[in-house]
């Protein structure tokens, strides 16, 4: 009987994983850390596993850990022994184990076995649009197991290590972006008046999933342009049928084995946009292109804000972030205008070659009743930005 293929699950090259661990250990050494305890969970369609996907090529149905000693082999600790055969086959790590019913206790025992009971241990939890760490019970058990050790927040180690993407990573994000474009193409090619939103969402999913994509999320919703109910789409599609005169708002991310694209496109149903929505679209598209042109290595968040400042000067506001970082999930940096309706934690940023960013101006009328968002995932390269999304920037029409 022939042996099964070793590559039935996607995996990066050994050289790419060696690069990643070398960078992480370089940063650990600079911080004086003896080990990292890296946590991830399945929230937000698994994107909270970003660090685990990057280190261990694994998305656990629940939660999991990677233990990275500064010296020695890393270990993936999974949530359930039922999953070990899959994790062992998919992961790039040789050591894949069950973490027990309390991962903190199991990892504490392993750290003591490694002689790191008095070590300096960095904890890497989860951070995308919220701040979180490992479960309380796990953290308590870990501290009880290491009474003489030092535990400290170290998520910045993984964020810095993952900030600039390699050429091999970029190729995976290119595939995720292509799958994401397929989702928009599925809606544009199949949506019709009278179709419920849930069926519109199915068009998007069917266009990509059969080709090996992984679904991350689809925010999708239709509302009458004459009397809009919202300015940002539903997080889950409703059963409401599309009607003539609607605007359909979308924000969609589809991935290649956890490496997603992101796109925002508006649609009209049964005719042209109203003058008010057309004006909002034109302003959002102009803002997108202006920010795109400002994304050059060495430029800063101030350059981006200057490029987009006309939105506020013309009497409009924004709601969603003007620009945010992207990787296996939503990440720093974030850039917003002073007129932003949602105030976020911002920090100065200098753009570098190898960054991935989502430009997504979400322009809202002065009265707050109407909004249009246009966006793409883009890469920062030596000569400036390059869109990974290939679908045209346009106000799409559904017959």
- Whether 1 shows a pLDDT value over 70: the answer reads no
Q: In what order do the strands lie in the sheet with 371-373?
A: 317-318, 362-364, 371-373
Strand-pair category, 375-381 with 356-359: antiparallel
- Whether 203 shows a pLDDT value over 70: the answer reads yes
Q: What's the whole-number average pLDDT of the chain? A: 95
Question: What tens digit of pLDDT does each residue of 274-294 get?
Answer: 999 999 999 999 999 999 999
- Give the model's pLDDT for residue 5: 54
What's the average model confidence in pLDDT over 212-218? 92
What's the average model confidence in pLDDT over 266-276? 98
Residues of the chain with pLDDT > 90, as a percent, come to 92
C-alpha to C-alpha distance for 397 and 72, rounded to whole angstroms = 57
Helix, strand, coil percentages for the chain (3-state, nearest 5): 35, 25, 40
Would you give the DSSP letter of residue 273? P
In CATH, the number for domain 14-162 is 3.40.350.10
- Give the model's pLDDT for residue 47: 87
Residues of the chain with pLDDT > 70, as a percent, come to 98
Q: Tell me, which fold does domain 167-398 have in CATH?
A: Creatine Amidinohydrolase (3.90.230)
- Give the model's pLDDT for residue 3: 45
- Whether 4 shows a pLDDT value over 70: the answer reads no
Q: Is-cis flag, bond preceding 129, omega within 30?
A: no
- Whether 48 shows a pLDDT value over 70: the answer reads yes
Residue 220 has which token pair?
């999708």
CA-closest candidate to residue 53, choices 10, 24, 23: 10
Residue bearing tokens 């019970």: 137
C-alpha to C-alpha distance for 68 and 34, rounded to whole angstroms = 9
Segments of the chain assigned to CATH 3.40.350.10: 14-162
- Give the model's pLDDT for residue 2: 43
What's the average model confidence in pLDDT over 192-213? 95
Segments of the chain assigned to CATH 3.90.230.10: 167-398
Residue 316 has which token pair?
């409009």
Residue bearing tokens 């190898």: 354
Beta bridge partners of 381: 384
- Give the model's pLDDT for residue 43: 87
Q: Which of 61-65, 130-134, 212-216, 269-273 has the lowest mean pLDDT?
A: 130-134
What 3-state DSSP class applies to 253? strand
The pTM of the full predicted model, rounded to 2 decimals, is 0.95
């Amino acid at each position: 009987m022939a042996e099964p293929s070793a590559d039935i699950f996607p995996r990066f090259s050994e050289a790419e994983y060696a690069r990643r661990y070398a960078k992480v250990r370089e940063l650990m050494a600079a911080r004086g850390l003896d080990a990292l305890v890296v946590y991830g969970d399945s929230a937000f369609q698994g994107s909270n596993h970003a660090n685990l996907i990057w280190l261990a090529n694994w998305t656990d149905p629940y939660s999991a850990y990677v233990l990275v000693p500064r010296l020695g082999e890393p270990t993936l600790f999974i949530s359930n022994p039922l999953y070990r055969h899959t994790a062992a086959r998919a992961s790039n790590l040789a050591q894949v184990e069950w973490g027990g019913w309390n991962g903190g206790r199991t990892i504490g025992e392993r750290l003591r076995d490694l002689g790191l009971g008095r070590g300096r241990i960095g904890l890497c939890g989860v951070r995308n649009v919220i701040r979180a760490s490992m479960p309380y019970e796990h953290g308590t058990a870990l501290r009880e197991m290491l009474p003489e050790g030092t535990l400290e927040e170290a998520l910045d180690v993984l964020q810095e290590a993952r900030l600039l993407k390699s050429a091999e990573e970029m190729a995976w994000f290119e595939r995720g972006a292509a799958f994401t474009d397929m989702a928009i193409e599925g809606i544009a090619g199949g949506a019709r008046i009278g179709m419920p939103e849930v069926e519109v969402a199915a068009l998007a999913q069917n266009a990509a999933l059969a080709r090996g994509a992984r679904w991350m999320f689809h925010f999708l919703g239709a509302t009458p342009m004459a009397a809009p109910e919202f300015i940002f789409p539903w997080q889950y599609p409703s059963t409401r049928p599309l009607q003539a005169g609607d605007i359909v708002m979308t924000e969609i991310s589809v991935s290649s084995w956890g490496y997603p694209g992101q796109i925002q496109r508006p649609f009209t149903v049964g005719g042209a946009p109203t003058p008010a929505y057309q004006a909002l679209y034109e302003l959002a598209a102009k803002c997108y292109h202006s920010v795109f042109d400002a994304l050059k290595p060495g430029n800063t968040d101030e350059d981006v804000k200057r490029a987009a400042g006309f939105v506020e000067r013309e009497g409009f506001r924004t709601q969603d972030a003007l620009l945010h970082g992207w990787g296996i999930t939503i990440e720093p940096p974030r850039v917003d205008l002073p007129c932003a309706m949602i105030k976020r934690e911002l920090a100065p940023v200098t753009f570098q070659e190898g960054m991935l960013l989502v430009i997504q101006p979400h322009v809202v009328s002065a009265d707050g009743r109407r909004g249009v968002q246009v966006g793409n995932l883009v890469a920062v390269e030596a000569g400036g930005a390059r869109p990974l999304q290939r679908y045209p920037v346009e106000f799409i029409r559904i017959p």
